[in-house]
Amino acid sequence: MAVSLWKSLLQTTKSRLFLQRGVSLYNGVHGFEEEAIKKKLQQFGGGSINLSKEDHGIRVLTLNNPKQMNAFTGTMMLELQERVTELENWKDGKGLIIHGAENTFCSGSDLNAVRAMSSSEDGMNMCMFMQSTLTRLKRLPLISVAVVQGKALGGGAEFTTACDFRLMTPGSEIRFVHKQMGLVPGWGGAARLVQIVGGGAALKLLSGALKVDPERAVHLGLAEETLPSSDETRSLEEAQAWLNQYTKAPAEVIQAVKKVVTAGRELQLEAALRAEKDIFGTVWGGPANLQALAQSTKHK
């Protein structure tokens, strides 16, 4: 009796914990020294992570380091964590579009920083820092779409998997180049890629460091579609129109929808059912539910 009670308590805690805002995957127990790595990352400046004002519940996050093909500098990694915290606290949020400045997505870590942080301790701390931040990004109660223009390489390819969906422009490319650097993904990209395309396809993309163009990405289920335009402004407008199809409801409903899907993606069945029950309780009898009940129930 005591054991099963303890197990159920543990499951309930797990199903609630993973939805908590700002929870890092790692702590001192795993050897993660967050303050130390933040200090180290601060030494590698350049670029920025910009977040637009909200427009109908949708914001645009821009990886902005065009001089280096939007490579992630140390300070951009720190700014990404700050933007994710901002988004976790955005009460009216429904959707997030992520793109790179000047018509290319992201060419991964800033290789200058990588060369300077080649110690095992720095590498592992950067890995745990980025895994935590991208896991929080993926778990945001928002529908997120990466608009891939130009190239998404290495950590940039991994970043696309931390979004719910990917839309690609003509001629763009997602490529997990890690093998060619004697590496494997370190920002959580391998685990998420297996979830998205399956183990077999993931193994081919990683072991072959294969270039994934829009056609192959759609075929694999890695991308939803190829956008008509490769122009930066037009493709963002097309992505916004695509996302608008899925955010036509009050923010609390869209957020609850993403949360139940995240529970289904990440938890064992019984824990996912408990999480779904808890989330259902937040919208049952809520303003959107009562308003819908007061109107005709015919769904066009």
Which span (52-60, 81-89, 108-116, 231-239) binds ligand LP2KCY5N, by CB under 6 A? 108-116
Given the complex with ligand LP2KCY5N, which of 40 and 151 has the nearer CB atom?
Answer: 151
**Interacting residue with ligand LP2KCY5N among 110, 213, 266, 276 (CB under 6 A):** 110
Contact status: 71 vs ligand LP2KCY5N (CB under 6 A) = yes
Given the complex with ligand LP2KCY5N, which of 66 and 286 has the nearer CB atom?
Answer: 66
Contact status: 107 vs ligand LP2KCY5N (CB under 6 A) = yes
Structure tokens at 229: 């335009």
Closest residue (Cβ) to ligand LP2KCY5N?
A: 108
Given the complex with ligand LP2KCY5N, which of 113 and 197 has the nearer CB atom?
Answer: 113
Contact status: 151 vs ligand LP2KCY5N (CB under 6 A) = yes
**Interacting residue with ligand LP2KCY5N among 97, 98, 101, 114 (CB under 6 A):** 114
Contact status: 163 vs ligand LP2KCY5N (CB under 6 A) = no
- Interface with ligand LP2KCY5N in residues 176-195 (CB under 6 A): 177-178, 181, 183, 185-187
Report the nearest approach of ligand LP2KCY5N to the CB of residue 73 (Å).
8
Can you name the residues that pair with 63 across neighbouring β-strands? Answer: 49, 100
**Per-residue H/E/C for the chain:** CHHHHHHHHHHHHHHHHCCCCCCCCCCHHHCCCHHHHHHHHCCCCCCEEEECCCECCEEEEEEECHHHCCCECHHHHHHHHHHHHHHHCCCCCCEEEEEEHHHCCECCECHHHHHHCCCHHHHHHHHHHHHHHHHHHHCCCCEEEEEECCEEECHHHHHHHCCCEEEECCCCEEECCHHHHCCCCCCCHHHHHHHHHCHHHHHHHHHCCCEECHHHHHHHCCCCEECCCCCHHHHHHHHHHHHHCCCCCCHHHHHHHHHHHHHHHHCCHHHHHHHHHHHHHHHCCCHHHHHHHHCCCCCC
**Interacting residue with ligand LP2KCY5N among 12, 24, 68, 229 (CB under 6 A):** 68
Ordered strands of the 151-153 beta sheet: 151-153, 173-175, 211-212
Which span (45-53, 86-94, 150-158, 253-261) binds ligand LP2KCY5N, by CB under 6 A? 150-158
Which span (32-40, 153-161, 232-240, 250-258) binds ligand LP2KCY5N, by CB under 6 A? 153-161
**Interacting residue with ligand LP2KCY5N among 12, 103, 112, 289 (CB under 6 A):** 112
Report the nearest approach of ligand LP2KCY5N to the CB of residue 222 (Å).
18
Give the side-chain half-sphere CA count within 13 A for 64.
Answer: 11
Contact status: 154 vs ligand LP2KCY5N (CB under 6 A) = yes
Beta carbons of 197 and 223 less than 8 angstroms apart: no
Residues that bind ligand LP2KCY5N (CB under 6 A): 68-69, 71, 107-112, 114, 151, 153-155, 177-178, 181, 183, 185-187
